[in-house]
Chain A
Amino acid sequence: MDEKDLLILRLLEENSRLSPEELAIMAELSGEDVRCRIAALEEAKIIRSYTTIIDWERAANGGVAAIIELKVNPERDYGYDRIADRLAKFREVKSLRLVTGVYDLQLHVTGKTMQDVARFVSEYIAPMDRIRETATHIIMKTYKENGQNFCEKEPGERLPYSP
């Protein structure tokens, strides 16, 4: 990993549709070099997937999302890893993190309705061994996601010329 790799990652994170040729111009590299670097980054699983950030609220798809906090008893030899691995297998779980503080694991869960999410938590998550406590927070509004500010206003008018 060098500075050029980091630049490629930053550019792709912002817009994964950039072609190797476009990236090459921006990063002062050859197209071939960019292709090799991306292949290596994919191989090393640094690039995990190419995705799209969607404002689902705006899409009015009617989905519900929640943040779920879990207090978990860690396992000898494995800590939180095995339970995290089980949780991660659920399609409903969009992200999963181990955090410091009053709880241990944080899940981002989506469902079609509030009932869906509630059922998922009460039927699948809460009864799992080693889970001591759950707290479900329904997301009311997303203001910023992955660096994208959803409620940003159009910037003020700039002068067409200066001075």
Chain B
Amino acid sequence: MRDFVSRRARVIPPSGIRKFFDLALTMEEVISLGVGEPDFSTPWNLCEASIYSIEQGGTSYTPNRGIQPLREAVSRWLSSHYGTNYHPDTEMIITTGVSEGLDIAIRAVTDPGDELIVAEPSYVSYSPCVTLAGGRPVPVECLEKDHFKLRADHLMEAVSSKTKAVIINFPNNPTGAVMRQDDLKAISDVVIDHDLLLISDEVYSELTYTGTHASAAAVEGLRERTILLNGFSKAYAMTGWRIGYLCAPQEICDAALKIHQYVMLCAPAMGQIAALEGLRRGEDEKNKMVQEYRVRRNLFVEGLNRIGLPCHLPEGAFYAFPSVEKTGLSDLEFAERLLKEEHVAVVPGSVLGQGGKDHLRCAYAVSRAHLTEAVKRMAHFIASNSC
């Protein structure tokens, strides 16, 4: 029989944490700092709105782009919060999570042989999505000494004649780094000079702890060459609902919409209703959650530094990214043994691309009691291995 698996599917690597996942499932009382999702349940008024819509028979397809009131609400919200303006009818698609938005964004702009620069360390999907679209991912490293921001000169070095786009994600998973207006301005010069497109995944935008989030699309000269991705999973604790959105100039948006029509048709109807409720009446609940993440961050990062795992203070998202270099263990070893010996699950930085080596991604979206216990177990691990 022929080998039916495509070359593209064969070449993308499986998720680097699969092994850990399987191991963790066999254990009891694991404290997991490995999950990139809020531990809060979706605020109840959002659930109520969705349940009511189901009771009223709202279980059909929606328009491809998503329901009109949600697109209008997103458009207003983006404008009032980040100063970015997108027409709800021509420049926006409600997607099935940011994951789908990312996929259709990349496929809408990638031709075979195109290079897409990926700022790393990063979420695991970017490079595989580029590969699946026939492009070539080119990593550019964000360094710890730069607080894991993307530097313009490093970006410049990665640009070639084949470069089509740059994929960034700030506030960043896994480092918690944020890019301020000035940082983005520096990047924009490179992007504009080399006639590139920017794909900006801003799903953690509302989890910016000091100041307000700077959106790439609000930087002068970038709007016409940016695909903005955002969604409800993180800020509104809505991971399971799968609701995100893609905003882009009309021509690009139309191309992405064609792909969306054929592969997804529309985002889940009931999720769109919950998201709309979130924008209408979810601000207070969201702000409470953000304040709690900030408290947890302070508690956890202080703990990490105290027990000898140096960690810069992340300014956004809900990840701490401590270095394990001093312990003499590799991040993979550290993570595997920490799970086996102390039942604490973290993600080794190596699986998150360049610059992730010797670091751990610890999601602090768990209760304070669990964070305190996790730090205690990590301290015990370090002491008993005298590393």
Contacts and interface: CB of A to CB of B under 8 A. Distances in A.
Contact of A158 (B25, B37, B299): B37
A155 B41 CA distance: 8
B299 A160 contact: no
B345 interface: yes
Contacts of B39: 155, 158
Contacts of A36: none
A60 B21 CA distance: 42
Contacts of A143: none
A161 interface: yes
A160 B24 contact: yes
B17 A161 contact: yes
A27 B15 contact: no
Interface residues of B, number: 23
A160 B20 CA distance: 9
Contacts of B124: 163
Contacts of B37: 158, 162
B387 interface: no
B33 to A, nearest CB: 10
A40 interface: no
Interface of B: 15, 17, 20-21, 24-25, 30, 32, 34-37, 39, 41, 124-125, 291, 295, 298-299, 302, 345, 347
25 contacts: A7-B295, A11-B295, A25-B298, A25-B299, A25-B302, A26-B295, A26-B299, A27-B295, A155-B41, A158-B37, A158-B39, A159-B21, A159-B35, A160-B21, A160-B24, A160-B25, A160-B32, A160-B34, A160-B35, A160-B345, A161-B20, A161-B21, A162-B37, A163-B15, A163-B125
Given A7-B295, A159-B32, A161-B21, 5 more contacts: A158-B32, A158-B35, A160-B20, A161-B24, A163-B15
